[in-house]
Amino acid sequence: MSLMMWTEKYRPRTLDEMVDQEEIVARLKGFVKTKNVPHCLFAGPPGTGKTTAALCLAHDLYGENYHDYIMELNASDERGINVIRETVKTFARSMAIGEVPFKLLILDEADNMTADAQQALRRIMERYTETCRFILIANYSARIIEPIQSRCAPFRFTYLKPEHIAARLKFIAENEGVELLESGVKAILEVSEGDLRKAINTLQAAASLGKPIDEEVVYSVVGRANPAQVREMIELAMSGKFIEARQLLRELIWRYGVAGTDLIRQIHAQIFKMDIPDRWRIRIAEAIGEFDFRLVMGANEEVQLSALLARLAEFGQLMGRGA
């Protein structure tokens, strides 16, 4: 198995290779056709292709040597005002040589920039528009100051469809000679939640074990419980078998290393998949929220999750009595 990160190895290189963002790709192809790009703001959840779209745009705009015309900065590391005044300004003010009269500066995680740095960036974007166009990439566009947002063409990225993620995973597995079972694909889709980067990284981590990739392998490498076991634990508690439910809880925590906050989110998800009257779902969801808050505030995981199971057992008794 290659040591290279599969997220980079199998990254789309051109706009034509991108999937599930058809409207965005069509707009970017229009920029390539006219060889004119405005300042852009790519916003949306992680792992949906924002950075890839920026690099594909650069490739299609400048050709194979596109790296000579772009600069990539990660604002989460280099987010101070000095970086904007020095590094960014120096790059933006120099002329581009070639058919396209401007360069591209890709500023990843721009929503992590300080307010002062964003104000300085706003002035540079105004002053050097002729020689440099900016692509700002953010998970939360609301954290970008309004003066910058108003100067950018907005692009809203959405989570990828499960079928497209599954197709990409199977393509990678085939190319890498990895045996990926259907149960493994479903498990990766569940843990990745529409994030293709996370899905590919999970696939690579599972493949490193050298075994056929099924749901057990996937859940073991990501440190999450099998949803079937979580559901069994809930059903045991609500049927009055509290001790058995607690034993399963301890096994999930100590044997599989599942974090309490992750487990409580899985319990929350399973409650809405089970056949429970809505009025009881409301009460259970409220209880889960209370115990989640306790864990966030630093309470002991095993104690609080045991208390949650006790509350579920209590709810189960009340439901059985028709209360």
Res 321: pLDDT: 73
Judged on CB neighbours under 10 Å (0-12, 13-18, 19+), 277 is: exposed
pLDDT single digits (tens) 41-69: 999 999 999 999 999 999 999 999 898 89
- Mean pLDDT, the chain, whole residue set: 89
Res 77: pLDDT: 62
Strands 153-156 and 132-138: unpaired
- The model's pTM is 0.81
Strands 103-108 and 40-43: unpaired
Average pLDDT rounded to a whole number, residues 110-123: 87
CATH topology assigned to domain 21-156: Rossmann fold (3.40.50)
pLDDT single digits (tens) 189-200: 998 988 999 999
Q: Say how far apart CA 195 and CA 160 lie, in whole Å.
A: 7
Res 1: pLDDT: 46
Res 320: pLDDT: 76
Confidence band for 76, pLDDT divided at 50, 70 and 90: low
**Torsion angle in degrees (nearest 10) through CA of 145, 150, 153, 157:** 40
- Of residues 212 and 87, more confidence is placed in 212
Confidence band for 4, pLDDT divided at 50, 70 and 90: low
Given a contact cutoff of 8 angstroms between Cβ atoms, the answer to whether 212 and 179 are in contact is: yes
Q: Say how far apart CA 154 and CA 107 lie, in whole Å.
A: 15
Pick the CATH number of 162-222 from 1.10.8.60, 2.40.170.20, 3.10.129.10, 3.40.50.2000: 1.10.8.60
Q: Say how far apart CA 15 and CA 258 lie, in whole Å.
A: 39
pLDDT single digits (tens) 135-180: 999 999 999 999 999 999 999 999 999 999 999 999 999 999 999 9
Q: Where are the domains of the chain?
A: 21-156, 162-222, 227-320
Does pLDDT of 238 surpass 80? yes
Give the pair of three-digit tokens for residue 240.
């009055």
Q: Say how far apart CA 213 and CA 220 lie, in whole Å.
A: 11
Res 20: pLDDT: 84
pLDDT single digits (tens) 271-305: 998 888 889 999 999 999 999 999 999 899 999 99
Res 80: pLDDT: 67
Res 139: pLDDT: 92
CATH number of the domain located at residue range(s) 227-320 in this protein: 1.20.272.10
